[in-house]
Amino acid sequence: MVIAIIAILAAMLLPALAAAKKRGQQAVCLSNLKQIGLAFQIYLGDHEDHFPDRRDLKSSLPGGYHPWPNAIWPSGTSTPNPSDPRAGWAATNFLDVCPNMNVWSCPASVNSAVGNIVQSVQATSMDTNGPLCRYWAWRFDRNDDPVGQEDFWGKSQSAAVADLVAASATDATLGTINGVTDVELAVDPYYPKTIPTVPAGFSGHTIHAGGRCRVFLDNHVQFIKDARTPLP
């Protein structure tokens, strides 16, 4: 009888404990992104309000610039979008102002399948078994020369935001961009179930079931719910 009661209590408690663990991981993820946003702000303050241009790192890190052939994000046309939003370059570039490399991976992503596929994870250095980055940075996702309208490489903050506001008028995938509070800097990897070209087996998956964490250019963080990503 005692064993049966313990088993019942355990069955009741385990879901609550699992939910608490997920909430804790989400809180750590938001804290990580807050520190990443702060690293961007410190860099801007030290470089006359200009973003870094590290397209060299984008190409030279292990695996290099890797725009997967089946685009995970629509470009608005039938042409695949040659995008690689992985942000290993940022972890390396901001090492002096953000030396804790653990902030570049949400704890929920480390042991999840979606956090470890090639589209999600990137090495931050050439070192064997070096730290990995499992966040995306859409505004630094291409190696175009010259820099495209939607990317921020080397631009002043004001010029980058103005370019993105202009681009959002014709590119619905950007959402509504009116200023710095709308500009996303870094985000969890996510694979909407409405996009037909996501990696096989990952449709509807993200790091945090039901949505994703992100940080904006004004350094506020947010968990956004998204019905297109119901799965962890």
Residues in CB range of 139: below 8 A, 6 or more apart: 150, 151, 152, 160, 164, 183, 184, 185
The pLDDT-based confidence of 7 (bands split at 50, 70, 90) is: low
Q: Which helix (H) or strand (E) holds 42?
A: helix 2-46
DSSP state of 140: G
Answer whether residue 32 is part of any domain.
yes
User: What was the pLDDT predicted at 79?
Assistant: 47
CA pair distance 159, 136, nearest whole angstrom: 22
User: Could you tell me the two tokens for 223?
Assistant: 């968990």
* For residue 13, pLDDT beyond 80: no
DSSP state of 225: E
Query: Angle at the Cα of 175 (from 171 to 179), degrees rounded to 5?
Result: 105
CA pair distance 26, 44, nearest whole angstrom: 27
Answer whether residue 8 is part of any domain.
no
Contact present, 68 and 118 (Cβ < 8 Å): yes
Answer whether residue 13 is part of any domain.
no
The pTM of this model reads 0.88
* Amino acid at residue number 157: Q
pLDDT per position as a tens digit, 62-96:
888 888 665 555 444 444 557 899 999 999 999 99
CA pair distance 175, 142, nearest whole angstrom: 19
pLDDT per position as a tens digit, 97-154:
999 999 999 999 999 999 999 999 999 988 878 899 999 999 999 999 999 999 999 9
pLDDT per position as a tens digit, 156-189:
999 999 999 999 999 888 889 999 999 999 999 9
Answer whether residue 14 is part of any domain.
no
Total structural domains within the chain: 1
User: What was the pLDDT predicted at 21?
Assistant: 65
* For residue 8, pLDDT beyond 70: no
pLDDT per position as a tens digit, 181-217:
999 999 999 999 988 878 889 999 999 999 999 999 9
Domain containing residue 87: 21-225
